[in-house]
Amino acid sequence: MMRVAIKKCLLGLMLSAISLICYAQQTSLITQKQRFQIDRFKTFSGETIKNVAVGWESYGQLNAKKDNVILITHYFTGTSHAAGKYHPDDETAGYWNAIVGPGKAIDTDRFFVISVDSLANINAHDPNVITTGPASINPDTGKPYGLDFPVVTIRDFVNLQKAVLQSLGIKKLYAVAGPSMGSMQAIDWAATYPDWVDRMISVIGTGQSDPWTTALLERWTVPIKLDSNWRQGNYYDTSPPTDGLVAALTFISQDALHPDFFNALGQSTLDFSPLESGPLNDILAKHSIVTWLEERAAQRAKYMDANHLLYLVRACQLFIAGHNNDLVSAVKGIRAKSLILPSATDLLLMPYQGKQLHQQLEQQGKQSQYLELSGNLGHLLGVSDIQQQSEKIKLFLAQ
């Protein structure tokens, strides 16, 4: 019985590969998607995008002084659904629901918590996501942009968040916090708009995309670009490159995990064996663990757009805090207190990356605290097991 329960829990964790949380859902937080629109948005690279729309959601109440705002910035395959449910009967809540809610680490009784869908959000076809990217209609042509969409950066996500906040009359962030790609946004906020940011929480993050990370991220684009359905991004009136997208998602899933978890899962749930008879007798057959990864990726791919994945990879590859090719001077500008929370078993953005940022902050006399998440989930710890640092986050926000 216990084994079945553990299996179900393990399966659940991987099923979304990101968000189902083995943690009591103690919330009755209900949220809804809001829409923000801007006629012309100028990108960091100098291009102008017309009619930009993004979704956002919030939890808790904005106070009269508008000084109780915490911005949550989402990860690569995530959305602005950071916490709560849209309907009480939703199966799952937002990905950081374990730490965002009434009385939780990020206490919605006290804070107005807000999150914004990124540009080129990968979940372009999720009805709960509003984003502008290559799959959007280019007003100049009446057709989807495809690769005519300009390259966008983490800074552009930040600037759009700033526009959303300003539209609400907000001029200051009590804190900004995010995991993975969300950490890039949080750090860029602190480096670029130091007057805005009092506290910054970087979870499973990095201060820059180093050569290793850039090459690793590039791999996620390879299956899409090789899929003959991709057609240089022009697939919106034909079949999309689903095989390539699914393969890319299997890469992402494995990169976000660690062998300790993955092997336990394979052995306990799939009765995996190296010498499975299918693969032994047919070069095109696949091992159970591979099929399993692909099936789950295919489920997730239904709401995703392949070009959007390419654009998100590029945004991450281009990332360096402050976006000026110089981490030292970017850190110089930071006024926020920082809390750096890598995962000890992370193989995607390894702890050395958070540590480098923390050390740079300390060297320059900034207030920075470094703590590692522990467990065998790898990178995913920062999303699915963030509650293990609830007390530290609460304490950090109280300072």
Any contact of residue 89 with its own copies (CB under 8 A)? no
CA distance 246 to 239: 14
The whole-angstrom separation of Cα 227 and Cα 79 is 26
Stretch of 2-10, 111-119, 169-177, 217-225 lying at the interface with its own copies (CB under 8 A):
217-225
- C-alpha 88/C-alpha 27 separation (Å) is 9
Q: Is residue 156 annotated as part of the catalytic site, yes or no?
A: no
Contact status: 244 vs its own copies (CB under 8 A): yes
Cα separation, 324 vs 155, whole angstroms: 11
Closest CA to 138 of 225, 48, 235, 240: 48
Exactly one of 4, 24, 64, 284 binds its own copies (CB under 8 A); that residue is: 284
Query: Is residue 281 classed as helix, strand or coil in its secondary structure?
Result: helix
What's the gap between Cα 389 and its chain centre? 18
Site for its own copies in 22-81 (CB under 8 A): 45
Phi-psi region of 142 (alpha: psi -120 to 50; beta: other; left: phi over 0): left
CA distance 176 to 285: 46
Q: Give the footprint of its own copies on residues 161-180 (CB under 8 A).
A: none
Q: How far is the CB of 39 from its own copies (least distance, A)?
A: 23
- Minimum Å gap between C-beta 26 and its own copies is 33
**Under rule CB under 8 A, residue 157 binds its own copies:** no
Using DSSP bridges, classify how beta strands 337-341 and 199-203 pair: parallel, antiparallel or unpaired.
parallel
**Interaction mask 297-326, its own copies, x per CB under 8 A:** -------------xx--x--xxxx--xxx-
CB contact at 8 A, 349 and 180: yes
Question: Which one among 56, 76, 149, 193 touches its own copies, defined by CB under 8 A?
Answer: 149
Which residue among 107, 126, 305, 346 is the active-site one? 346
Among 280, 302, 329, 363, binds its own copies (CB under 8 A): 280
Q: In angstroms, rounded to a whole number, what is the distance separating the alpha carbons of residues 333 and 327?
A: 10
Q: Indicate the burial class of 217 (C-beta count within 10 angstroms; 0-12, 13-18, 19 or more).
A: buried
Rounded to 10 degrees, the C-alpha dihedral 149/153/154/155 comes to -110
d(CA 1, CA 223): 40
Catalytic residue at 346? yes
- 250/389 with CB nearer its own copies: 250
**Applying CB under 8 A, which part among 124-132, 185-193, 282-290, 387-395 lies near its own copies?**
282-290
The reply on whether position 271 binds its own copies by CB under 8 A is no
What are residue 138's DSSP bridge partners?
Answer: 143
Please report how close the Cβ of residue 161 comes to its own copies at its closest, in angstroms. Answer: 20
Identify whether the C-beta of residue 112 lies closer than 8 Å to the C-beta of residue 68: yes
Number of residues in contact with its own copies under rule CB under 8 A: 64
Residue 238 as a binder of its own copies (CB under 8 A): the answer is no
Nearer to its own copies, 182 or 233 (CB): 233
Task: Please identify, using beta-carbon distances, which residue of 174 and 251 lies nearer to its own copies.
Answer: 251
Q: Which part of the chain contacts its own copies (CB under 8 A), choosing from 34-42, 78-86, 166-174, 247-255?
A: 247-255
Among all chains, which residue has been given the structure tokens 């095109």? Answer: 284
Residue of 180, 183, 343, 368 with catalytic role: 180
Based on the shown chain and the rule CB under 8 A, indicate whether residue 215 belongs to the binding site for its own copies: yes
CB of 16 to its own copies, least distance (A): 18
Residues 370, 396, 176: CA angle, nearest 5 degrees: 90
81, 308, 323, 379: the catalytic one is 379
What separation in angstroms does the CA of 123 have from each of 14, 197, 303? 18, 28, 5
Closer of 138 and 254 to its own copies (Cβ)? 254
- Catalytic annotation on 385? no
Q: Can residue 250 be called a binding residue for its own copies (CB under 8 A)?
A: yes
H or E stretch including 187? Answer: helix 181-192
**Token pair listed for 396:** 């950090």
Which residues are bridge partners to 320 per DSSP?
208
220 interacts with its own copies by CB under 8 A: no
Give the span between the Cα atoms of 281 and 142, in whole angstroms.
Answer: 51
- When binding is defined by CB under 8 A, the residue of 165, 170, 177, 293 that contacts its own copies is 293
Which residues belong to the active site? 180, 346, 379
Give the binding site for its own copies (CB under 8 A). Answer: 45, 147, 149, 151, 153, 208-212, 214-216, 218-219, 222-223, 226-228, 232-233, 243-244, 247, 250-251, 254, 259, 262-263, 265-267, 270, 272-276, 279-284, 286-287, 289-290, 293, 310-311, 314, 317-320, 323-325, 347, 350, 352
